[in-house]
Amino acid sequence: LGAYGSNDTPNSPGSYANRTEPVNATITHDEQSLIFEMTQFQGVGVSEAVQRDKLYGAMPFLSLGIPMLWMGQEFSAPRGWANDGLKLSYRPLDWDWLLVQRGIDHFKWYRTLVNHRLKNPALYQGELRKLYLFDNAKCLAWGFVDTVTNSKVMAVANFHPFNQTPANVPWLGDGTWYDIFDQSTMTVTGNSVPSFPLAPFTIKVYSNKPDSAYGILSAGPERPTAPAGFELSQNYPNPFNPVTTIAFQVPATGTVSLSVYDILGKKVASLADGVFSAGRHEVRFDASRLSSGVYFYRLTAGARTAVKRMSVVK
């Protein structure tokens, strides 16, 4: 949004006002995924990284230009490389992330954004309205208006790591507004919202019309998911230096152990040893004190055991 000197005026700021020219993306073929970057290099926890990815990923759909998704971004696949030497290594798309709750939730988020960008005139042909920047709170309010169809979209984002409640948020009109992600409603009067609470790294997006007005099928109740089976995933990244993540899933609550061994069979690290609930779990492994080489990690849960190989490259 900083590329625009004012509102969306033709020929100012030039090509950036044309939806068919600039491409907006947070990830490309030669960039780490944001989730990978944050968890592997910035010390950000997985839950926060996933939440921040939703915020950042919403921006291309709520700006001018062409929004682009890249290779599993829409279901939170953490794609990347540990060092420049691995940049061109083969990294097949890990579709398994689409089968777990984290990936399912992420996919629903992006699906909603894609549907509105395709079917809501405010987003595919409307005029950008920059409304207000709350400097201290690191919050931003903006929107889009299509006067032909009277379609409007409002977005309010919190880029701050703490809860924020901006006051007197300017709005694009009075009446009932619909949260595009769950179709809950909010009534606005006086063209502003007196108090707008936002969790850290969160964006709220509203439309002045319900999904049904655009032929968008709202998500219904979640179908019960089948219990997770026993699975040990390949660590990512691999090879790595010095940190990698190991994911596993167990079908029932019980005692789980996850250990790392060198090629001689000597245990060099214990990553998990305790009771875990049914479902998918992730463990970070820091190999700073280990030398380069091949190592094995073994998961044991009840009578089930699985072993995989990984490589430390320094």
Q: What is the pLDDT of residue 223?
A: 44
Domains of the chain, earliest start first: 1-224 (2.60.40.1180), 231-312 (2.60.40.1930)
Give the Cα separation of 239 and 30 in Å (integer): 18
Q: Which two tokens stand for residue 14?
A: 């030039």
Q: Can you tell me whether residue 11 is helix, strand or coil?
A: coil
φ/ψ of residue 65, rounded to 5:
95, 180
The position carrying tokens 């990294």 is 91
Q: What is the mean pLDDT of the chain?
A: 87
Q: Return the half-sphere exposure (C-beta side, CA atoms, 13 A cut-off) of residue 79.
A: 27
**What's the DSSP call for residue 67?**
E
Beta carbons within 10 angstroms of residue 198's beta carbon: 21
pLDDT at site 95: 79
Beta bridge mates, 12: 9
Least confident of 44-58, 92-106, 208-222: 208-222
User: Any bridge partners for residue 167, and if so which?
Assistant: 195
- pLDDT grade, residue 15 (50/70/90)? low
Q: Tens of pLDDT along 105-145?
A: 999 999 999 999 999 999 999 999 999 999 999 999 999 99
For residue 268, which phi and psi values (nearest 5 degrees)?
-115, -10
- As given in the structure block, the two tokens for residue 23 are 């491409």
65-74: burial string, b at 16+ Cβ within 10 Å, e else: bebebeebbb
152-163 mean pLDDT:
97
Tell the burial category of 48 from Cβ atoms under 10 Å away from its Cβ (0-12, 13-18, 19+): middle
Q: 294 burial class (0-12, 13-18, 19+ CB within 10 angstroms)?
A: exposed
Long-range contacts of 252-257 (CB under 8 A, 24+ apart): 252/227, 252/278, 252/302, 253/277, 253/278, 254/301, 254/302, 255/301, 255/302, 256/281, 256/299, 256/300, 256/301, 257/298, 257/299, 257/300, 257/301
Task: Give the Cβ contact number of residue 266 at 10 Å.
Answer: 8
SS3 state at 206: strand
- Helix, strand, coil: what percent of the chain each, to 5? 20, 35, 45
Q: Which residues pair with 308 in a beta bridge?
A: 297
8 Å CB contact between 10 and 23: no
Q: For 178-201, what is the mean pLDDT?
A: 96
What is the per-residue pLDDT for 17? 61
For the chain, report the end-to-end CA distance as a whole number of angstroms.
Answer: 40
Rounded to an integer, the average pLDDT of 200-225 is 80
Q: What is the mean pLDDT of residues 298-304?
A: 92
pTM score, two decimals?
Answer: 0.67
In 3D space, the residue among 81, 83, 100 whose CA is nearest the CA of residue 282 turns out to be 100
More confidently predicted of 65 and 162: 162
Q: pLDDT (tens digit, 9 = 90+) per residue, 234-275?
A: 998 888 999 999 999 998 888 999 999 999 889 999 999 988
Q: Does the pLDDT of residue 150 top 90, yes or no? A: yes
